[in-house]
Structure 1
Amino acid sequence: MPKSELWQRGDAMRRRLMGAATVERMAKGVYDDPLMEKFGDYAREAVFAMLWDRPGLDLKTRTLICVVSDTATHAWPELAIHLRMARRAGWTEDELSEALLHLSGYIGLPAVREAMITARTVFTEMRGEPDGGLGM
């Protein structure tokens, strides 16, 4: 079945934010069964097309909002995705580390510790990619 225009817009935004290689890797490891494919289709339309593509905030700001939200809610797998997106949107490792450290006064050291461990893993992984994971 052909994908909707909203799905196409969402897919383009998702690829822009994550990078094509990450999207393809997730397609094979996360979204390769019917249940998760439905979830992925919905996320492309409702989140990546309708939410990320809204006017009013730039992508860089939106990615930082996600990093903060993920850290505050202990959403570690999502934090890894959003840290990658934040780096691709223009945040440096130092800026993201500082944002995470700033959160320690508001949400506590245990959550920030886990976020920093996640960041270390993501940043190391990205540095090992051909374009540093930053090709947009």
Structure 2
Amino acid sequence: MSDQNEFFKQGLALRRDMFGPAGADQAIESATELTAPLQELVTRFCFGEVWHRPHLDHKTRSMLTLAIVATLSRPAQMKIHVRGAIANGVSKEEIREVLMHTLVYAGVPAAVDSFTQAAEVLKDMGLD
């Protein structure tokens, strides 16, 4: 089996762990001719290769991802990655502190939007 196939399998397993089988499989199964190459690349490269690199655990990577997504003001991705962060062992308090830290370095508007998105997801998950 090629490394690419192995990375795809690892990436799909991690996506399932973080976002649930329905969330991970839905992204792959609902891909169109246009989006299928994107889903394959995200699964193989992002979640298969990068998320499995040594030296940072999945919890740390989730916290970094939250900070980056907040900085970029990506509300849909924030919601997805808050769920993934919880699955990777990030606590509600750690999410708060990541977003507080982001406020200082990325700006108040990005942090306020991110807090709003995180609070909505945490409420939906019964963790508010």
TM-score w.r.t. length of structure 1: 0.80
Q: Tell me how far 1:106 sits from its aligned partner.
A: 2.1
Percent of residue pairs bearing the same amino acid type = 27
Deviations 1:9-58 (A, max 9, x none): 21112112222132244446xx3322122211111111111101111111
Q: Tell me how far 1:92 sits from its aligned partner.
A: 1.3
Q: Tell me how far 1:103 sits from its aligned partner.
A: 2.1
Note the 1:1-136 alignment, pairs <5 A.
4-27=5-28, 31-127=30-126
Give the structure with the larger helix fraction: 2
Q: In structure 1, how many angstroms separate the alpha carbons of the residues matched to 2:91 and 2:32?
A: 35
Q: In structure 1, how many angstroms separate the alpha carbons of the residues matched to 2:28 and 2:119?
A: 24
Q: Is the 8 A contact 1:13 1:53 kept in 2?
A: no
Q: Is the 8 A contact 2:12 2:24 kept in 1?
A: no
SS at match of 2:50: coil
TM-score w.r.t. length of structure 2: 0.85
Q: Is the 8 A contact 2:31 2:39 kept in 1?
A: no
> Bigger CA drift: 11-20 or 98-107?
98-107
Q: Is the 8 A contact 2:18 2:84 kept in 1?
A: yes
Count of residues in correspondence between the two structures = 124
Q: In structure 2, how many angstroms separate the alpha carbons of the residues matched to 1:45 and 1:22?
A: 16
Deviations 1:49-96 (A, max 9, x none): 110111111100000000000111112222212111111111111221
Let me know the Cα RMSD of the aligned residues. Answer: 1.9
Q: In structure 1, how many angstroms separate the alpha carbons of the residues matched to 2:43 and 2:105?
A: 32
